[in-house]
A and B are shown apart, each in its own frame.
Chain A
Amino acid sequence: MALSDKELKEITYLARINVKEESFSSLKKELEQILTLFEELNEADTSSVEAMSHPLDLSQPTRKDEVTEENQRDELLKNAPSVKSGLFIVPKVIDGEA
């Protein structure tokens, strides 16, 4: 199945994965190969079947809405790449005058 350059660019942006110019065409070929595999499903007659939601068709158990987790802010922030005053630091998101 053919994938246009524009489509691939769009997908890589949706997935937020930068792809270097030089690996673009080989990636496209690999993805096309995999997408071709999907065409085998066209032959299957699924007109009278419901899409599966859980393999055992059991209802999912719910639990009481009780707070069980303690505040772990400092513990959780330990893994963050950049932190200041208990906040995650990222490059400026909103443009405009400060």
Chain B
Amino acid sequence: MKVAIVKYNAGNIYSVIHALKRLGVEPVLTDDPALLASADKVLFPGQGEASNAMHYLREHRLDEVIRSLRQPLLGICIGQQLLCRHSEEGDVDCLGIFDTEVRRFQPTRHEDKVPHMGWNTLHDTRSMLFKGFTEEEYAYFVHSYYVPLCPETAATTDYILPFSAAMQRDNFYATQFHPEKSGSVGERILKNFLEL
């Protein structure tokens, strides 16, 4: 199986590469449109700032490439946010796969710290990514912006308010949490994605 990771300016992809290797997959990290288009699966991970990331994607024409993909793609963390229509972070238009807006967490109590960091539960999981899940599982999150609940929501997590912990539309899958850092739960999610 050919697995490609989208190479752009939003960093820390090492842990995604390691996680895939532990599942027996050797991913290629590339910004070559032909390689991305010919991969069986594409991962779009990352951490970083949305407007910088979008600027880079447009400059390298990766926005068109990502939108044109028809094989399963998995956006992770900022990857999920960039697949949305618009982000409050840097007030930037994003890829528009998911027709919704990315917002910043607004704490309502002192205990609500931003970023939302740590292990939190996944509810209402409804996607092949969560195949075999029988109970509420914990996943690892680090983020200050969130995607509200919308028709594409594929799992919910509650922090300050319920938000989209995962999303899906057609071949586009995404998680706000980091499956590559979510222990055995994350491994099952990545394995489910690779088996799509």
Partners in one complex: no
Q: Which residues of B contact A (CB under 8 A)?
A: none
